[in-house]
């Protein structure tokens, strides 16, 4: 028996060796397969065999054209733990495919030497979010203490050194960019480097230094920046105003006021900067000064800012309304202040009869802004006068009514071939004709898709006049009265404005639709059809008027959203500025799901609504790597405060864009940071000041964020 066992064992061993050799031969043959998945599987199988001689095969596979093969090769090289493969894995860490980058990072963690760690640390600052997150995991796997803090600090140092070198040795355009980037770091050393540059002979470099100082947030720079408002270079003055606005130092009020009052191209920026400063008696007085004495745009902006600050002294307004030289200033202040200037109404009403057209229009706007219904009879009387004045100008010189449809060959929306069929000129030939046919087919397909989706296409309005020979400026007085009649809800205004809603003049049509929107639910119903007009200015004015009216108008805009395609931005902008009802969530979720620029505005609104039913939609949007609305989606999730979003939001703490990292940290401060404290603590050494501050704020709130999110 014992003599028979040994030959059997030898035979079985030979069979197994022969089988393994045959399998290996097949794997080597598979490495030459034209199919990438077969080559990848062969690399994976060979790696499991652990044959040191196969290292050369894996090295060759790392150069394969297919990313799936390169990924398997990276893992195989890592399993070898051979120090010689570190450089090759470092190259794979820069691969164009993110999956290969991640697998190369994890492979480097298995080598566990200083060179592998150096590759991982260096590439963290050069890669996108997913790879950065894997690099941190790889360093943790290699038992590197404080892995994320180390790579964040290394990235911060690299950015600082690069910008500092560029500022000292780069070309002028490069130095401009470096100056701004140094300021964004918020470091004291950056402020010290930039302060001498604000007086540089190269204006664009001086302006960049000023912008950088504004981003740095160090108020030491105010003393150096404020005198630059007296310079004659618009770019430098604009940069200085922006920086002073960011630095929020009340000591700059008087200098900003001087610029706001000079009626120059940068005056409006200065007025806005004053309004953005912390509120104080000095800033209120400065805004009232601009409202009463500034140019039209600055005065209106300053006065509107004072609406929520209890307005300006009525005595000052009344004084200007009684002096001919300053009447218009007083009226503009009333327009901006609106209802808080109610006490000035008795001084405004007599000006409705002013012989000066400009004053009369301002008086109408002022009465409408105050919104006192007792002024309606005076405005109705003025309507009759303005109508009588414009009727001769608008007299039809063709008495017969014009057709409501285009004649044969004249419809601009008709196919090119059909238009040429009725044309006396020869149709286009050659490539031009083919292009026209192609565009016709595209328009037809787009129209068909819109119909199938239930969307209404905005079409050009068929003209009801051969030629509108009255200049729009001459119709503005009547238009102002129409808007005022709607605002004051004057008796009979609904029917009157409906009559103008189809007027041939876009000026009067816009005024009538805006007036209707201000008449309440019935007026909103009559006006909302105007959103399908092709004139963009009309659409914007009407959308804003509807949104300003509260729930009725906002519901109308929300109901129109599914019917619009490219024009959605007009509706969403109005809802973003004036709010939306809670029932808007479903329509807004659809917009977010469609992506594009519209998704950013829709996410903003959903965040303010704290729409918990939108969390899943927003999380799905975060999963889109190329989403242009990522920052807004993150902030919206933070506003909603649902803790189930924390993990997805936290991934963007690794994002390569500082704005996204800051938004993720801000969102986590509201959602809760219990499991993200390590990453947030690491970001306290981030290069960018706004990221550091957002991370610090999130950590400071870590004890209360979860409670607040319930």
Q: Is residue 546 pLDDT above 90, yes or no?
A: yes
Scanning the structure block, which residue is given the tokens 């026209």?
A: 436
What is the rounded distance in angstroms from the CA atom of residue 344 to the CA atom of residue 317?
7
The answer to whether residues 365 and 275 belong to one domain is yes
Name residue, tokens 């209802």: 339
pLDDT at 704: 44
Q: How far apart are CA 497 and CA 518, in angstroms?
A: 11
d(CA 402, CA 465): 7
Residue with tokens 């001459």: 474
Residue corresponding to tokens 């009052």? 261
Residue-level length of the chain? 710
User: Which of the pair, 394 or 663, is modelled with greater confidence?
Assistant: 663
* Domain final residue pick, 113, 144, 175: 144
Are residue 136 and residue 35 in the same domain, yes or no? yes
The answer on 285 and 218 residing in a single domain is yes
- The share of the chain scoring above pLDDT 70, in percent, equals 85
Check if the beta carbon of residue 42 is closer than 8 Å to that of residue 33.
yes
Do 282 and 332 lie in a common domain? yes
3-state DSSP percent of the chain in helix, strand and coil, to 5: 75, 0, 25
What pLDDT score was predicted for residue 394? 74
Radius of gyration from C-alpha coordinates of the chain:
34
pLDDT on residue 392: 82
189 falls within a domain: yes
User: If pLDDT is split at 50, 70 and 90, which confidence band does 521 have?
Assistant: very high
Q: Are residues 132 and 164 in the same domain?
A: no
- Taking CA 545 as the corner, what is the angle to CA 544 and CA 546, rounded to the nearest 5 degrees? 90
Q: In the predicted model, is pLDDT for residue 278 greater than 90? A: yes
**To the nearest whole percent, how much of the chain has pLDDT over 90?**
77
The verdict on 372 and 237 lying in the same domain is yes
CA–CA separation, 27 and 51 (whole Å):
13
Buried b (16+ CB within 10 A) or exposed e, 464-501: eeeebebeeeebbbbbbbbbbbbbbbbeebbebbbebb
* Cβ–Cβ < 8 Å for 652, 622: yes
Q: How confident is the model at residue 433 (pLDDT cuts 50, 70, 90)?
A: low
Say if 191 falls within a structural domain. yes
Task: Quote the mean pLDDT of the chain.
Answer: 88
Instruction: Judge if 192 and 279 occupy the same domain.
Output: yes
CATH code for the domain of 330: 1.25.10.10
Residue 6 has pLDDT above 70, yes or no: no
Domain end point (choices 362, 390, 418): 390
pLDDT at 626: 84
Pair 240, 383 in one domain: yes
H helices present in 50-146, as ranges: 55-61, 67-80, 86-92, 98-111, 114-124, 129-141
Residue-wise pLDDT tens digits, 446-461: 656 655 555 555 555 5
Read off the pLDDT of residues 91-111 as tens digits, 9 standing for 90 and up.
Answer: 999 999 999 999 999 999 999
In this prediction, residue 470 carries a pLDDT of: 75
Q: Is residue 42 part of a domain?
A: yes
pLDDT band at 673 (very low <50, low <70, confident <90, very high): confident
* Contact indicator for 323, 355 with CB cutoff of 8 Å: no
Q: 603 is written with which tokens?
A: 């996410």
Same domain, 138 and 172: no
- pLDDT-derived band at 2 (thresholds 50, 70, 90) equals very low
Res. 119: pLDDT tops 50: yes
User: Token pair for residue 234?
Assistant: 């618009």
| Domain-located, residue 490 | no
| CA–CA gap between residue 273 and residue 278 (Å, rounded) | 10
| 455 within 8 A of 565, measured Cβ to Cβ | yes
pLDDT of 466 above 50: no
Nearest residue to 689 (alpha-carbon basis) of 183, 211, 219, 197:
183
Same-domain pairing of 106 and 200: no
For residue 621, tell me if it sits in a domain: no
Question: Per the structure block, which two tokens stand in for 510?
Answer: 């816009």
579-609 confidence digits (pLDDT tens):
999 999 999 999 999 988 899 999 999 999 9
pLDDT for res 23: 85
Question: How confident is the model over 179-204, as pLDDT tens digits?
Answer: 999 999 999 999 999 999 999 999 99
Nearest residue to 70 (alpha-carbon basis) of 117, 47, 46, 36: 36
In a domain, 514, yes or no: no
Is the pLDDT at 78 greater than 70? The verdict is yes
Residue 90 is part of which domain span?
A: 29-144
Most confident range (mean pLDDT) of 437-446, 559-568, 690-699 is 690-699
Residues 135 and 222 in one domain: no
Residue 529 lies in a domain: no
**609-658 residue pLDDT tens:** 999 999 999 999 999 888 899 999 999 999 999 999 999 999 999 999 99
The pTM of this model reads: 0.83
330 and 185 within one domain: yes
Please report whether residue 426 resides in a domain.
no
Q: Which two tokens stand for residue 359?
A: 């004053």
* Model pLDDT for residues 386-414, shown as the tens digit of each residue: 999 888 877 654 455 656 565 665 665 55
Among 365, 390, 415, where does a domain finish?
390
Number of domain units in the chain: 2
Q: Is the per-residue pLDDT at 342 higher than 50?
A: yes
């Amino acid at each position: 028996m014992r003599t028979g066992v040994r030959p059997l064992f030898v035979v079985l061993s030979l069979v197994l060796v022969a089988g393994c050799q045959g399998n290996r031969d097949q794997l080597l043959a598979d490495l030459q397969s034209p199919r990438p998945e077969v080559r990848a599987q062969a690399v994976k199988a060979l790696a499991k065999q652990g044959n040191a001689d196969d290292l050369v095969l894996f090295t060759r596979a790392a150069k394969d054209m297919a990313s799936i093969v390169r990924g398997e090769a990276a893992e195989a090289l890592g399993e070898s733990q051979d120090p010689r493969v570190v450089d090759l894995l470092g190259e794979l860490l820069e691969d164009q495919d993110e999956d290969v980058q991640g697998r190369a990072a994890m492979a480097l963690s298995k080598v566990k030497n200083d060179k592998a760690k150096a590759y991982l640390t260096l590439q963290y600052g050069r890669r996108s979010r997913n790879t950065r997150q894997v690099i941190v995991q790889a360093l943790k796997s290699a038992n590197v203490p404080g892995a994320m803090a180390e790579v964040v600090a290394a990235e911060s140092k690299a950015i600082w050194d690069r910008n500092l070198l560029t500022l000292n040795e780069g070309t002028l355009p490069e130095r401009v960019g470096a100056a701004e980037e140094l300021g964004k770091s918020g470091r004291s050393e950056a402020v010290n480097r930039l302060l001498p540059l604000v007086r540089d002979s190269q204006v664009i470099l001086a302006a960049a230094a000023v912008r950088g100082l504004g981003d740095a947030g160090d108020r030491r720079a105010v003393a150096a920046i404020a005198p630059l408002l007296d310079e004659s270079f618009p770019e430098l003055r604009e940069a200085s105003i922006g920086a002073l606005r960011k630095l929020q130092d009340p000591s700059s009020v008087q200098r900003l006021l001087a610029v706001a009052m000079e009626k120059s191209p940068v005056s409006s920026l200065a007025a806005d900067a004053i309004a953005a400063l912390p509120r104080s008696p000095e800033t209120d007085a400065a805004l009232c000064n601009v409202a009463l004495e500034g140019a039209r745009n600055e005065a209106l902006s300053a006065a509107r800012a004072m609406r929520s600050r209890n307005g300006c002294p009525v005595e000052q307004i009344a004084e200007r309304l009684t002096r001919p030289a300053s009447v218009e200033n007083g009226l503009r202040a009333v327009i901006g202040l609106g209802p808080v200037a109610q006490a000035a109404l008795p001084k405004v009403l007599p000006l409705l009869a002013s012989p000066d057209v400009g004053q009369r229009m301002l008086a109408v706007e002022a009465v409408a802004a105050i919104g006192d219904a007792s002024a309606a009879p005076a405005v109705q009387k003025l309507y009759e006068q303005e109508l009588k004045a414009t009727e001769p100008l608008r007299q039809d010189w063709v008495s017969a009514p014009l057709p409501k449809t285009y004649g044969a060959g004249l419809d601009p929306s008709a196919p090119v071939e059909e238009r040429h069929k009725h044309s006396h000129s020869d149709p286009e030939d050659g490539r031009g004709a083919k292009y026209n046919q192609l565009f016709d087919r595209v328009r037809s397909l787009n129209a068909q898709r819109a119909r199938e989706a239930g969307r209404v296409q905005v079409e050009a309005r068929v003209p009801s006049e051969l030629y509108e020979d009255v200049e729009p400026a001459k119709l503005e007085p009547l238009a102002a009265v129409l808007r005022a009649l709607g605002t004051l809800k004057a008796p009979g205004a609904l029917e009157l404005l409906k009559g103008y809603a189809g007027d041939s003049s876009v000026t009067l049509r816009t005024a009538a639709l805006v007036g209707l929107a201000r008449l309440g639910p019935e007026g909103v119903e009559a006006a909302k059809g105007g959103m399908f007009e092709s004139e963009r200015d009309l659409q914007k004015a009407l959308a804003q008027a509807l949104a300003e009216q509260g729930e009725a108008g906002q519901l109308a805009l929300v109901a129109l959203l599914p019917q619009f395609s490219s024009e959605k931005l007009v509706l969403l902008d109005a809802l973003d500025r004036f709010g939306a009802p809670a029932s808007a969530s479903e329509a807004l979720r659809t917009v977010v799901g469609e992506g594009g620029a519209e998704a950013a505005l829709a996410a903003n609104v959903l965040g303010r609504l704290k729409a918990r039913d939108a969390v899943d939609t927003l999380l799905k949007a975060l999963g889109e790597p190329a989403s242009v609305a990522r920052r807004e989606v993150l902030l919206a999730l933070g506003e909603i405060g649902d803790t189930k979003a924390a993990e997805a939001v936290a991934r963007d703490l690794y994002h390569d864009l500082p704005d996204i990292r800051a938004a993720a940290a801000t969102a986590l401060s509201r959602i809760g940071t219990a499991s993200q404290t390590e990453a947030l603590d690491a970001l306290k050494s981030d290069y960018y000041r706004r990221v550091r501050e957002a991370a610090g704020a999130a950590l400071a709130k870590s004890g209360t964020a979860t409670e607040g999110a319930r």
